[in-house]
Each structure stands twice: as structure tokens, then as C-alpha cells.
Amino acid sequence: MSIELSVEFFPPQTTEGIAKLKVERAKLAALKPDFFSVTYGAGGSTREHTFAVVKEIAAEGFDAAPHLSCIGSTRAGIREILEEFKASGINRIVALRGDLPSGMAEAGELRYANELVEFIRAETGNVFQIIVAAYPEWHPQAKSTEADLQNFVRKTKAGANAAITQYFYNADAYFHFVENVRAMKVEIPIIPGIMPIVNFSRLARFSDACGADIPRWIRKQFESYGDDAESIRAFGLDVVTGLCERLLAGGAPGLHFYSMNMAKATVEICQRLGLCATP
Ligand code: FAD
């Protein structure tokens, strides 16, 4: 089966974190991903760290896609970053609005991701493949599902080549979203974002904040395990592998793993899916 596989990291802030990520990345190399992506703190807060990880990935012979968010930034600042990317041979960007850090009141010169995509195209033509974010369960600040869909389409018209979704655990939400997008005559690949479940209580807190739904049957099952880490691990693997199987069987063109800088769960899921060799 040939699908697009990618894995996301966040840029570590410490020397130990950087060394640990290198080790985890070496394990993930077994998946032969199409690219590794590296997140970017809104307002440029991780600019140097993101770029450092991107350069390390490229030096290891992999394609690296930096994320770039526009909120709180100026056009001149974004232009400078695009120049830096271009000079380093980067050819893929995940383009986002980002979220304003608390205490930061200024949205900046580019307010939404569609404006960033437009700006990247105007400044650099077709140098970069541009990937945008998609929300099968809708963006938490969306005025309505219809408005969110229209805003997604706006990003594609501005020149996005592909989209990666927010994570979700309900395959029907993805199929419904893709159907809606196709009805708007948008044909770009929409890659499901997959969050392996390693620490359920942390995931539950995080999901509430970003608007990702954890279905009641999954939540209840995890809660029933209490501190039983082995049962949590085993059930998490079953749930996410099952989700991926349904998505791929239903035509998803690839999988993007939110690794949280840990290789184990992502590698195990891919082995179960037959996407890489089992040791
Ligand atoms: P947009 O597409 O701009 O949408 C944001 C909201 O505004 C939506 O409610 C939309 O309906 C509305 N909207 C969009 N366009 C318009 C318009 N023209 N007029 C009026 N309303 C509009 N965050 C980070 O800080 N760093 C990262 O590296 C990062 N990586 C991510 C990767 C993926 C794959 C995903 C799914 C999310 C990522 N995020 C990241 C989180 C993301 O920044 C937040 O979800 C943010 O709130 C929205 O970003 P966006 O690019 O989707 O915004």
C-alpha cells in the first residue's frame, strides 16, 4: 500500500530534549516517512529552535517541513523567514494562523491562515508546497460549520497543496468533512492527523482545549483502567490502529502522526498496519 506518511515533532528547548529527539527520530526513520514536520510557537517564540531541528532533520537526509504561523507577525518578519527557508533548500511548509499567546493583544499583519498562504505564494511563487490545517470536528472558534468550511476552502483557493487535520477519534467526522470539501470542488489531499494515545489524562485535558472529541466509550474505557499503564497502552494501540485502518480503507491518502517526540506508539501502530517491518 502506498500512502503519504509524515511525523510531527515539537522543537525541544533543552540540550537533553534535543539529544532525546535525535534518538526517537532514528527509531521513526524505520517508517521511511515522506517528511518530518516541526511545530512553530505562535508569535515566533520557537523560531530558532524550530529551524535548528529542521536543519538537523535535513542533515540526516530526510525532508523537513517547518510549520509557520502568522498571528502576531509582520509581513517583513515572515518574508525574512521564507528567505531563510528558501536558502536552506526547504520545499514544504505547514502554514497556520496559530493562536495568540496569552497577554499578546496584537493579531499582527496577517490575521488568518488564508492570508499567510496568499502571502507565501505572492512572495515565493511555487517554491514551496503549502500544507494547511483542517478541522473535521470544526475549529473551536468557528462561527458556524458552514463558515469554517468556507474558510478552509479559502485557504485552498489561496494556493494550499494539501491539508493535515486536527486529530480526532471518530472516522465518520473525517469522511463527512472530506465529502463536504469535495462538494465544494476542492480536490487537494486531506491527510488525517493521528494522535497515538500514550497518556490518557493529559490527552483528555489537551483535547478539551483544542476541540477534539474523545468519544464516551473510549473515555469510559480508559477511566476504568485507573493507573493500569499496560491496559491503557494496549487499549490506546487498539483504538488508534482501528481508526487508521478505517481511514485507509475509506480512502484517506496518508497518515500524519503527532508523535509528541516519542517514537514507540507511532512505530507500533505502523507495524500493526503493515506500513513498516515488524522486528
Ligand atoms: P485559520 O485557518 O486562520 O482559522 C482559524 C479560525 O478563523 C477558524 O475558526 C476559521 O473558521 C476562522 N477563519 C479563517 N479564515 C478566516 C477569514 N478569512 N475570515 C474570518 N474568519 C476566518 N499552532 C501553532 O501555534 N504552531 C504549530 O506549529 C501548529 N501546528 C498545527 C498543525 C496542524 C496540522 C493543525 C491542525 C494545527 C496546528 N496548530 C499549530 C494549531 C493552530 O494554529 C490552531 O488551531 C489555530 O487556532 C488555527 O490555525 P489555522 O491555521 O487553522 O487558522
Does ligand 1 lie within 6 Å of residue 99's CB atom?
A: yes
Residue 136 near residue 174 (C-beta atoms within 8 A): yes
Tell me how far the alpha carbon of residue 28 lies from the centroid of ligand 1, in angstroms. Answer: 27
The predicted structure's pLDDT at residue 175: 98
Does ligand 1 lie within 6 Å of residue 39's CB atom?
A: yes
pLDDT (tens digit per residue) in 64-120: 999 999 999 999 999 999 999 999 999 999 999 999 877 666 778 999 999 999 999
Tell me how far the alpha carbon of residue 41 lies from the centroid of ligand 1, in angstroms. Answer: 13
Give the up-direction half-sphere exposure of residue 259: CA atoms within 13 A in the CB hemisphere: 28
Q: Which atom of ligand 1 is nearest to the CA of 135?
A: 36
Residue 173 near residue 136 (C-beta atoms within 8 A): yes
What share of the chain has pLDDT > 90, as a percent?
89
Q: Which helix (H) or strand (E) holds 66?
A: strand 64-69
The predicted structure's pLDDT at residue 129: 98
Which residue owns the Cα nearest ligand 1 atom 2? 113
Statement: the pTM of the whole predicted model exceeds 0.95? yes
The predicted structure's pLDDT at residue 84: 96
Tell me how far the alpha carbon of residue 151 lies from the centroid of ligand 1, in angstroms. Answer: 10
Contacts with 246 (C-beta within 8 Å, 6 or more apart), sequence order: 171
- Does residue 8 have an active-site annotation? yes
Tell me how far the alpha carbon of residue 30 lies from the centroid of ligand 1, in angstroms. Answer: 31
Contacts with 167 (C-beta within 8 Å, 6 or more apart), sequence order: 193, 194, 195, 212, 258
Does ligand 1 lie within 6 Å of residue 144's CB atom?
A: no
Q: Is residue 278 pLDDT above 70, yes or no?
A: yes
List 8, 24, 118, 137, catalytic entry? 8
The predicted structure's pLDDT at residue 1: 62
DSSP codes joined into one string, 193-229: EE---S-HHHHHHHHHHHT----HHHHHHHHHTTT-H
Q: Which atom of ligand 1 is nearest to the CA of 68?
A: 28
Contacts with 47 (C-beta within 8 Å, 6 or more apart), sequence order: 40, 41, 81
Give the C-alpha separation, 238 to 245, whole Å: 10
pLDDT (tens digit per residue) in 65-74: 999 999 999 9
As a whole number of Å, the end-to-end CA separation of the chain is 19
∠ at Cα 76 (72, 79), nearest 5°? 105
pLDDT (tens digit per residue) in 204-215: 999 988 889 999
Residue 9 near residue 16 (C-beta atoms within 8 A): no
Q: Is residue 45 pLDDT above 90, yes or no?
A: no
